[in-house]
Amino acid sequence: MNHKTIYADDDKESVRFLLRLRIPPLMVGLALGIGVAFLTSQFEEVLAYNVRAAFFIPFVVYIAAAVGSQTHSIYSRDLKSGHAKFRNYIFKESILGIVLGVIFGVISLIIVNLWLKDERLAMSVGLAVLCAVSTAPIIAMIVTELLNDLHEDPAVGSGPIATVIQDATSILIYGTVLSLILL
């Protein structure tokens, strides 16, 4: 049986149909988002030890999510055209993730150190950014490919789902790095 992925088309589809497509992945994202809040609470000790570490939670989460969002958008667009090859994309996007992770990690380290004059916090932020950004394209690719394989529009579902998975991953990375370096 040959299943074909149906892509949402805001120009042609009714609002009811578009809501039916969009609500399920957003509900998954909502539930996982609550999980991210719980995960963040697990690092209360290290955040209380150095409250300035909390300043960088939104940044670490954002920069990784932005990189993942680019990957998801480009790969989803190319999946629709029929020209995307997962193997080629995963290889190139992994390299891009590492390179972008190094760039943003080093810049973050320098800025945090100049701003707060705290080498350990700067090292924590820089290393967490390196790791979180490096994982972002892989998570985006896997979620997008999985939804495509399930014949769900990856442009609708993978954004919310991959983002919340990346957010949780970023929090886990940041909290772990903080705990290892600061405590």
Reference 170, options 74, 60, 90, 91; nearest CA is 60
CA-based end-to-end distance of the chain: 56
Q: Is residue 32 part of a domain?
A: yes
pLDDT given for residue 66 in this prediction: 96
Q: Does any domain span residue 1? A: no
Q: What is the pTM of this model?
A: 0.89
Query: Interior CA angle at 93 toward 88 and 73, to 5°?
Result: 100
Asked if the structure places residue 8 within a domain, the reply is no
pLDDT at 2: 57
Domain count, the chain: 1
**pLDDT value of position 5:** 67
- Tell me if 89 is assigned to some domain: yes
Q: What local confidence, expressed as pLDDT, does residue 151 receive? A: 84
In a domain, 5, yes or no: no
**The pLDDT value given to residue 157:** 84
Q: Which pLDDT score, from 0 to 100, does residue 145 have?
A: 94
What pLDDT is attached to residue 3? 65
Kindly state whether residue 120 falls inside one of the protein's structural domains: yes
6 within a domain of the structure (yes/no):
no
Closest CA to 97 of 68, 118, 69: 68
Longest dimension (CA), the chain: 62
Please, which residues have CB within 8 angstroms of residue 56's CB and are 6 or more apart in sequence? 108, 112, 125, 128, 174
Domain around 167: 15-182
Asked if residue 169 lies in contact with residue 65, where contact means CB atoms within 8 angstroms, the answer is no
What's the CA gap between 162 and 64, in Å, rounded?
11
% helix / strand / coil in the chain, to the nearest 5? 85, 0, 15
The answer as to whether 4 is a domain residue is no
Specify the CATH number for the domain of residue 131: 1.10.357.20
Rounded Cα distance, 150 and 110, in Å? 43
Name the amino acid, one letter, at 31.
A
The pLDDT, as a whole number, for residue 155 is 81
Q: Which residue is listed with tokens 């993730």?
A: 97
Name residue 51's amino acid. Answer: V
Taking only the tens place, the pLDDT of each residue in 69-99 is 999 999 988 888 888 899 999 999 999 999 9
Q: How far is Cα 43 from Cα 159, in angstroms, rounded to an integer?
A: 26
Q: Which residues of the chain have pLDDT under 50?
A: none
Which tokens go with 139?
């998570």
Q: How many CB atoms lie within 10 A of CB 163?
A: 24
